[in-house]
Amino acid sequence: MLHRPQRHFTIAEYFDIEELSPIKHEYCNGEIFAMAGASLQHNHISSNVHAHLRTALRGTGCNAFGSDLRISTPGGLYTYPDVSVICGKVELTADRLESATNPVVLVEVLSDSTRDYDRGEKFTLYQAIATLREYVLIEQSRVLVECFRKQPDGAWVAEAYGDLDAVVKLASVSTSIVCRDVYREVFS
């Protein structure tokens, strides 16, 4: 069987594609991946979390952003998390298409096709972001929210919440959200 080499794109080519495309793409190590449309449950969950955080963080100096804010990692990943929280001024890359570099909290809603990547390689790339303090993974097919918190020694510790009445604490931004609110219109 003959294997054709995968084409590798420059960051400039990625930006060319992003400017012209009606859909968003992720870029990592010279590869470009189209971001597929999300399920109804995924949309409910990400909207619920975004809306809750926007309101809870009002007046704190921190802001929640939806999936249209591109994040850049030191390892060269350009991606669109479902929800990002940035405290203070948004620091942007000097790239032709600006990307934020200083999230404190990142939230990803998992699907069958992204679960392993979001837990593995993407989490590893996110961990290199100096400002990142919490990474939240949310299952959409069952009640399960996992919050990974960066410890003072640099280690990441996970806490899982699997009940609709559980309260997910986001220590880095001094707020919390009840799982029932995360899963509104999905399981409650």
**pLDDT (tens digit per residue) in 16-48:** 999 999 899 999 989 998 887 789 999 999 999
Task: For residues 166-172, give the mean pLDDT.
Answer: 98
Count helices and strands (H / E) in the chain: 5, 12
Under the banding of pLDDT at 50, 70 and 90, the label for residue 162 is: very high
- What is the percent of the chain where pLDDT is above 70? 96
Residue 85 has pLDDT above 70, yes or no: yes
Enumerate long-range contacts of 123-130, CB under 8 Å, 24 or more apart.
123/148, 124/75, 125/28, 125/73, 125/75, 125/77, 126/73, 126/77, 127/156, 128/73, 128/74, 128/75, 129/71, 129/73, 129/74, 129/101, 129/102, 129/103, 130/74, 130/102
Whole-prediction pTM value?
0.94
Under the banding of pLDDT at 50, 70 and 90, the label for residue 188 is: low
Query: What integer pLDDT is reported at residue 165 of this predicted model?
Result: 97
CATH architecture for residues 39-182: Alpha-Beta Complex (3.90)
**153 DSSP 8-state letter:** T
Residue 1 has pLDDT above 60, yes or no: no
| Greater model confidence, 106 or 112 | 106
Looking at every residue in the chain, the average pLDDT score rounds to 93
Measure the CA–CA gap between 153 and 89, rounded to whole angstroms.
Answer: 26
